[in-house]
Each structure stands twice: as structure tokens, then as C-alpha cells.
């Protein structure tokens, strides 16, 4: 049996990009993966990918993909997702909070006062949505006394990247993962945040090809980049680790956890940690804190 055979996962925002890569990596280890996202019809988005296509690819990898169209700004749709999960599976082992509303002007130059207030959508889907999904997930995980909740974040937790709202949102996700870990620890449920560097998603590839100077920025050098499946490989290792609770409450650079677990990217590349140039996470696992906090 694969390392995640019999496990059930939810990966939010998985029509494409990092979410799709994570879903595929988990399915490749035998997990049943509920794939959420807003794109249902091919061609309806400027970038390729739908929830159905990701779910089909998950099943082709050896796991089971279940497509559930969800707008994570709509609490009723999120509630329906978890009601379906409870009814059909009766359990949840992994929640990956990846959904994030990225505005088209994210990488455009200009101060925060020059960009529209609608960019606050990153708080709605990226911060609030993380809490809502985790709130539902915990109600399944706590009674079974096991589970893993992962927030996808990045070096922007401490290093300026793209703009004020983006950085604030990712910093909030880190702190939320930390505080959730404290409340979940007595129940055997782990909560962590993962710092991704440049991930070569469909959107990133498009932007690197079309935005002058982007390849030279510290946060977007292609030589440091990884495939969308790389963080999924690390999450699969975490979920299969019988002592995953030792990590709970921590914010981790994905590349460093990969080194600990002996994981490379899909092409065998060892992804570099950017700790020395972009900064170090603030939050350590709660077991490593003097007072457990």
C-alpha cells in the first residue's frame, strides 16, 4: 500500500498551480483527494485547468480524485464541501489551505495607495478562507484525534514581496497556523505553515515570460524555483510521519523540510533554501518553546 492509502485530503484552490501539484503528489501516494476550486469549464479562465481535470489526474496517479467546485469566499459552499466529506468519507486526514485570490496587478509597480481596495480580496480568500476551512476540518479531525492542517505561505512572511496586502495576508496565515496548533495540540492534530519560494505554476511561467525584469528579482529567480508538485511531496511525507506532532506550530521553509525527509523535486533537483537571502521563519514548533507556546 502507498504511504497515504486510506487517507482523505482536501486541497483548496487546486484547479491549477500549487494546489493542483499538491493534489497530484498526495494522490500519487494513494490518498483520496477532494479538489476544490472555482474553474469548472475549460477555457473559462485565462489559465488552463479545472477542478474536474485535476481530479481526473489524481485518479490517474493511483489515488482517487473528487472534484468539488467551491468559491472559498462563500461560506455556504465551504460548508457544503465538508458536509459532503462527512457523508461520503466520515473522516479527514489532511487539509491544505492553498486557495488565495491573486489580483492581476499583483506584480505591477506602484504603492498600495495606487492600487484598488479590491486587492483586499487577498484577506477574504487567503486569510479568512483558511480559518473557515480549518474550522470545519477540525470538527472532523479532533474527534478522531489525528490530522494535519497545512497553510501554504512564503518568505513574504518577513520579506517584502509584491505588496502590502500580499505580505500581510501571508504573515497572518503563519500566525493563524501557529495559534491553531496550540489549541489543537491536546487533540493530536498538527498545524503548520510552509514557506514556498518561486513555484513554476502556469501563472508564474506566464509572468516570467511577459514581465520585464521579473527573472532578476530576488523572489522570482527561475534557478531557485520548484515544480508545483514539490510542496505536495513534502506534505505527503509529513502526513505519513507517525511523529508529525513534533512539527506542529512551526513555520517551515519547504526546501528545508524536504532535506530532512530526503525529498527532491520531480526532476531530482534539490531545491535551495533561501533563508540566508530572504529570511528565517519566526515560529518554531510548540514542543520547542520553553513554555509549550
53 plus 185 within the same structural domain: no
- pLDDT at position 172: 96
Task: Give pLDDT tens digits for 126-183.
Answer: 999 999 999 999 999 999 999 999 999 999 889 988 899 999 999 999 999 999 999 9
SS3 201: coil
174 plus 40 within the same structural domain: no
32 plus 108 within the same structural domain: no
Pick 211 or 70 by higher pLDDT: 70
Number of domains comprising the chain: 2
Question: Cα–Cα distance between 176 and 172 in angstroms, integer?
Answer: 6
163 plus 199 within the same structural domain: yes
Residue 243 located in a structural domain: yes
Torsions phi, psi of 151, nearest 5? -105, 130
Q: Which residues pair with 192 in a beta bridge?
A: 150
Q: Is the pLDDT of residue 290 over 70?
A: no
Section 193-197 average pLDDT: 94
60 plus 203 within the same structural domain: no
CA angle 240, 15, 68 (to 5 degrees): 80
DSSP state of 217: S
pLDDT category at 1 given cuts 50, 70, 90 is very low
Domain that holds residue 145: 80-127+136-288
Q: Which residues pair with 11 in a beta bridge?
A: 35, 96
Residue 172 located in a structural domain: yes
111 plus 212 within the same structural domain: yes
Task: Give pLDDT tens digits for 227-257.
Answer: 999 999 999 999 999 999 999 999 999 999 9
- pLDDT at position 51: 94
Residue 263 located in a structural domain: yes
The CATH code of the domain that includes 117 is 3.40.50.720
Length of the chain: 293
Report if pTM > 0.85: yes
Question: Cα–Cα distance between 26 and 94 in angstroms, integer?
Answer: 10
Look up residue 196 and give its three cell numbers.
Answer: 514556498
- 8 A C-beta contact, residue 42 and residue 274: no
22 plus 163 within the same structural domain: no
Amino acid at each position: 500500500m502507498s504511504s497515504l492509502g486510506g487517507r482523505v485530503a482536501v486541497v483548496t484552490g487546486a484547479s491549477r498551480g500549487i494546489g493542483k501539484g499538491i493534489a497530484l503528489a498526495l494522490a500519487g501516494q494513494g490518498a483520496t483527494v477532494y479538489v476544490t476550486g472555482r474553474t469548472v469549464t475549460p477555457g473559462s479562465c485565462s489559465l488552463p485547468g479545472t477542478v474536474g481535470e485535476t481530479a481526473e489526474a489524481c485518479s490517474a496517479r493511483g489515488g482517487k480524485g473528487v472534484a468539488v467546485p467551491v468559491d472559498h469566499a462563500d461560506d455556504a459552499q465551504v460548508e457544503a464541501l465538508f458536509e459532503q466529506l462527512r457523508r461520503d468519507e466520515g473522516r479527514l486526514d489532511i487539509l491544505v489551505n492553498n486557495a488565495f485570490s491573486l489580483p492581476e496587478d499583483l506584480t505591477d509597480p506602484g504603492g498600495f495607495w495606487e492600487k484598488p481596495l479590491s486587492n483586499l480580496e487577498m484577506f477574504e480568500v487567503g486569510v479568512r478562507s483558511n480559518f473557515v476551512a480549518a474550522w470545519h476540518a477540525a470538527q472532523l479531525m479532533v474527534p478522531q484525534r489525528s490530522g494535519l492542517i497545512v497553510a501554504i505561505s512564503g518568505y513574504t512572511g518577513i520579506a517584502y514581496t509584491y505588496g502590502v496586502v500580499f505580505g500581510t495576508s501571508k504573515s497572518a496565515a503563519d500566525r493563524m497556523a501557529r495559534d491553531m496548533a496550540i489549541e489543537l495540540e491536546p487533540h493530536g492534530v498538527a498545524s503548520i505553515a510552509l514557506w514556498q519560494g518561486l513555484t513554476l505554476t502556469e501563472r508564474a511561467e506566464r509572468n516570467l515570460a511577459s514581465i520585464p525584469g521579473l527573472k532578476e528579482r530576488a523572489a522570482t529567480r527561475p534557478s531557485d524555483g520548484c515544480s508545483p508538485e514539490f510542496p505536495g511531496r513534502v506534505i505527503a511525507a509529513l502526513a505519513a510521519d507517525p511523529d508529525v506532532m513534533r512539527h506542529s506550530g512551526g513555520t517551515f521553509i519547504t526546501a528545508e523540510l524536504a532535506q530532512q525527509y530526503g525529498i527532491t523535486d520531480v526532476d531530482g533537483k534539490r531545491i535551495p533554501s533561501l533563508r540566508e537571502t530572504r529570511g528565517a521563519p519566526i515560529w518554531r514548533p510548540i514542543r520547542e518553546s520553553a513554555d509549550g507556546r
